[in-house]
Chain A
Amino acid sequence: MLHALLISNGLQGLEKYYVSNEQVQYTTCLITKDFDPDLLPYDLLVVPNGSDHVAMLKIKDKVRAFLDAGRALVCCDGFFTAWVPGNQWVMDNSRRTQDVRYAPGTDRHHLLDNLDLDQLNFSHGMSGWWACGYIEAAPGADVLLADTWQRPIVVLDEVSTGGRMLLTASGPLADVTYAGQSDSALVALYRNFIHLLSTSSVPAHG
């Protein structure tokens, strides 16, 4: 059983997407003016879509220490402040969304297994719906998905810290089936990462 800390910005509906189950127990941390959570009791830090990256910047040293202790981070949002070790998300609107297509890259832990990439490429025939901008990935990090222009969109970083980070360019990840939504690619990727953390006896860095 993983113990995850879910950072909440007080947005409506978040609790429906991250529901405790047999693999992961979520504890929600609501951001307040005095936001300063103790991360070390947890295995996983989840920073979902719509998060407060001003607040996250305030605890960047804690996040670094948490990861260096071998723990894990999922950030599936536009992390516009510099709080994620080694990696930076950047907004960009210079490319047409209708030209966006994702292509798989290095996937040594099979995080893309059972993932229908077309579901991330198209929603009702529209492309460019899932992610925004791109990630300036750390050297040596695995780029799981890149866009049409070879820019990192999903990154697994096991080199910048002592832990693991799964990062998306603001593409939401969650098990939304608990909210009655369909089992889709963004669910599969999230579940595969949870499965990796749950079953891996080998910490990041091997």
Chain B
Amino acid sequence: MAKIGLIFNGVWSHYALATAPKYRDLYRLLYVHDLDGEAVRDLDALAIPFQSNQAVLTEKQAVIYDFLAAGKKVFLEGDSSTAWLDAQWEDRPVNNYWWVTDPTNPPVSDTNYEHPVYQDLTPRQACWHTHGVYTRVPASAEIIQTNAEGEVITWQTQQYGGTLLATTLDPIVEHGVQQITHLDNYVDHLTEWLCGVRPAPERLTIDAAVYGAGVRL
């Protein structure tokens, strides 16, 4: 039975990950326009991917904070809005070619590898590219990753009851896109941290039967 709710904006990369044979028993797609407390009641964790609809998340923020208040985990990636999150995200140019042009200067320069999501990851597995930075985070936040300028990439707080882990990395979207082939490492760590189940140690594959007429929504 699925343990992680993937808040879903109708974007294909979200769908590709949640319907991949490797993950489909652990993730449930939650269409953002239908999101309510009942939809998340039996879940252990929520994942809010990059390319989410921030305006609708703002409307539905009570669902997220009630979920945290119940002591559960929420993972947030990519951008966010101050309209629903007490943190300031700012856009920055995306550099997804640093490993070709400037391999000694990755977008993340410091990582707390003690965090369960990052334990045993290599630096390349812990950062591929970032979508912006946080210039302000909650006072209680623990900083997990920063860039060379000291700007926050990944942070975590327990101030809402459960654990909120936020990052400007985009593991869910990029793993769904499959143009970066080492993201099984990060997403498997993340999945295990969110729900306590380690996905099978294999590369993500696609089930073509769930595209088009066979779509599963």
Partner-B contacts on A (CB < 8 A): 9-13, 30-33, 50-57, 77-82, 88-94, 97, 123-126, 128-129, 132, 136, 170
Contacts and interface: CB of A to CB of B under 8 A. Distances in A.
Contact of A123 (B15, B79, B97): B97
B53 interface: yes
A10 B10 contact: no
B33 A32 contact: yes
A52 B11 contact: yes
A124 B11 contact: no
The 8 closest A-B pairs by CB, nearest first: A52-B10, A78-B12, A124-B97, A10-B53, A54-B10, A93-B178, A33-B33, A88-B212
29 contacts: A9-B51, A11-B53, A31-B33, A51-B11, A52-B9, A52-B10, A53-B15, A54-B217, A56-B10, A57-B215, A77-B12, A79-B12, A82-B213, A88-B211, A90-B212, A91-B12, A91-B16, A91-B178, A91-B206, A91-B208, A93-B204, A93-B205, A94-B205, A94-B206, A124-B100, A124-B101, A125-B97, A126-B97, A132-B177
A91 B211 contact: yes
Contacts of A125: 97, 100
B97 to A, nearest CB: 4
Contacts of B206: 91-94
Given A91-B16, A170-B12, A82 B212 contact: yes
B193 interface: no
A56 B13 CA distance: 16
B107 to A, nearest CB: 15
Nearest to A8: B53
B56 interface: yes
Interface string B1-24: 000000011111101100000000
Given A9-B11, A82-B213, A170-B12, A50 B179 contact: no
Contacts of A9: 9-11, 51, 53
A178 to B, nearest CB: 17
Contacts of B84: none
Q: Which of A31, A79, A128: most chain B Cβ within 10 A?
A: A31
Given A9-B10, A53-B11, A80-B15, 19 more contacts: A9-B9, A9-B51, A13-B91, A32-B33, A33-B34, A51-B11, A53-B12, A54-B10, A54-B31, A57-B215, A78-B16, A81-B215, A82-B213, A88-B212, A91-B12, A94-B206, A125-B97, A128-B179, A132-B177
Contacts of B55: 10, 30
Contacts of B11: 9, 50-53
Contacts of A13: 91
B88 interface: no
B54 interface: yes
B151 to A, nearest CB: 18
B79 A12 contact: yes
A129 B205 CA distance: 19
Contacts of B79: 12
B212 A129 contact: no
Interface string B143-183: 00000000000000000000000000000000001110100
A126 B212 contact: no
Given A10-B55, A50-B51, A54-B217, A92 B179 contact: no
A204 to B, nearest CB: 23
Contact of A80 (B12, B34, B53, B178): B12
B95 to A, nearest CB: 10
